[in-house]
Amino acid sequence: MIGQVLRGRWRTLVVLALLGALVGAGSSVILSPGYRTTSSVLLQGPREADELLTQAEVATSSVVLDRAAAGLGDGETGADLRDKVTTSVAQGNVITIEATGDTAEQTQRLADQLAQEFVKYSTQIIAGSGDAAVQLAQERRETLRQQVAQTNQRISELSAKVNDGKTTVESVQLRTELQGLRSTIESAMSTLNAADTASGLGNMVVLGSAELPSAAAAPTLPQLALGGAALFFLIGLFGHLFTARTDRRLRDDEEIAAAVGGPVLATFDAVDRRPAGTTLRAKILRDDRPWNIPRVDVFADEIDADIQYRRLVSRLPHRRLLVLAVDGDHAGQAAAERIARLAGRWFATVTVSPARPVVEDADAEGVLVVTSLGSRSAWELVGIGEAVADAGLTVVGTVLLRPVSPTRTRPGASTPADHEALAGTA
């Protein structure tokens, strides 16, 4: 069935693919990020998770963006850069700044400038956080240093007394005191190291220059155009398959006979020669005709032979019959006219609307319904049978037409396309 869709609706699918490519290309203005690169800033010292998230927010603050815009000198403001910059926290106390731009050089400059301005601004915040806190930390470190110096002096004095070689109660006490002093100095040194580390929390380092992008980041304009073309093509393809699956028009002989109210007398193959479309879309796409017509490996004149219709007419009772066809069913109308022509004065043709079928009173003894397979729904055929009954007539039988498309063409013979061209110029 997919092959039938591709063969019968390839023009429509091509147009849908082109439309999808245009939509995809147009969406690249919004969806395509352009060039993308990253710059990393290392925050030295132990850091809490909340502090790292705060620093990531500082990197995209209005102050940093405004300073970066002024440093770039491209005529953009900090508000313009807000949609081009994102930050994240990586492992190892690293703040990652991701920048996007229209060109590779512009993107690299933006990432580097943002990293530099972020480091400067964050350092200024920490340096100006409060002179009292800084002075208190300095006094604490000075006190710790004095404590370490005094302890070292006391250790030296005790060591001189212990090393005189005499083992007394006093020497044992000195050794105990010496061990305690050593523990005290170790504790003081640990506290001093922690204080020194805390004093360097504001240190930040830019981990090199941002990498120059070698190509635009995905999705690019060609990718979006190709994706849009593929998406619209698949939508059109599966839309045709879904429509065929949910089609309620009858294609079974027994179901059609039950709906009309008369037995199926014959089923003929018929070449679908409907008039050419009148609209520009129908002329270009040819989507006004069914796409799921079976293809048969025969010549067209082998399908439309009159001998089949003559045999049907010979089996019909020689009385006055009304040959009924449905409006819009071109194959059924052509077959009804052929049957009436072969029968001569005994038969007359009538065409009814499928929506509101009305059969005029006629001097006939019965009705022969001619319809194509898959052209009418069950309710439409039931309505035709009821219209025949309202006219006081009975359905003597039903003739079904199976539309087919011949694959062979005799040299010099007209093709269905020629019939369409002639009908379009008539």
CA-CA-CA-CA torsion sign (217, 220, 222, 225): positive
What are the tens digits of pLDDT across the range 245-254? 888 889 899 9
Question: Helix, strand, or coil here: 217?
Answer: coil
What is the pLDDT of the chain when averaged over all its residues? 81
Q: Do 261 and 370 meet the contact criterion of CB atoms below 8 Å apart?
A: no
| Cα–Cα dist 193/188, whole Å | 9
Six-digit token string for 34: 């352009």
**Beta bridge mates, 324:** 350, 369
What pLDDT, on the 0 to 100 scale, is given for residue 132? 54
Q: What is the pLDDT of residue 162?
A: 64
pTM of the model as a whole: 0.61
362: tokens are 């006629």
- Quick one: pLDDT at residue 197? 54
Q: Residues 250-276: pLDDT tens digits?
A: 989 999 999 999 899 999 888 876 666
**Alpha-carbon dihedral angle through residues 69, 72, 76, 82, given to the nearest 10 degrees:** -50
Is the confidence at residue 381, as pLDDT, over 60? yes
